Amino acid sequence: MARNKNALRGHFIQAYTPGEEEPGTEWLELAKWITTIGDDTQEETEEFADYAGDGTPTNDVISVAGAYTPEGTYDPDNPAQKLIADLKYKTGEGRKIWHRVVSADGQKEWVGKATVTAIVAGAGDASAYETFSCNIRFDQLPEETVLTGNDGESGEQSAPPLGE
């Protein structure tokens, strides 16, 4: 069983233009100065029991909203962080981006439109570097793609970026 470092998982973003159905090919990686990325996925469940069983309640997952929470040090010159920081005072469609997640083993990717919330781009103690964080939540289930041309062992990605 292979174990992969979290740093091998890629999180990429790009600006969203209202009405566009597919992302472009130019992605900005959320990596430099990002020290942790949490999984903040939300699941809604429904519990029920019927006469087909013995009356023991069953739990069904009825919706999944995938979300990630990158955190680190704010760098206003970093293109990915700048894109998110520039959304801070936007609302509605102004908070939308494209988000792409590539698994640490380089075997799969998930791509979809997402909403950015809880943006922090410059805050913290006077003696500390400015902090950066946000929540990136897919607007619907992202499209999952199996990537080809990956070695599957080292986690190094040899597949071309999406769209090429």
User: Going residue by residue through the chain (164 aa), what tens digit of pLDDT does each one get?
Assistant: 689 999 999 999 999 999 999 999 999 999 999 999 999 999 999 999 989 889 999 999 999 999 999 999 999 999 999 999 999 999 999 999 999 999 999 999 999 999 999 999 999 999 999 999 999 999 999 999 999 865 544 344 444 455 44
Structural element, H or E, at residue 15: strand 10-15
Give the Cα separation of 92 and 115 in Å (integer).
Answer: 9
Rounded to whole angstroms, the Cα distance separating 38 from 135 reads 9
* Distance set, CA 123 to CA 104, 113, 130, 131 (Å): 30, 27, 5, 5
d(CA 117, CA 97): 11
pTM to 2 decimal places: 0.85
Domains of the chain listed by start with CATH number: 6-146 (2.40.30)
Dist. CA 156–CA 111, nearest whole Å: 19
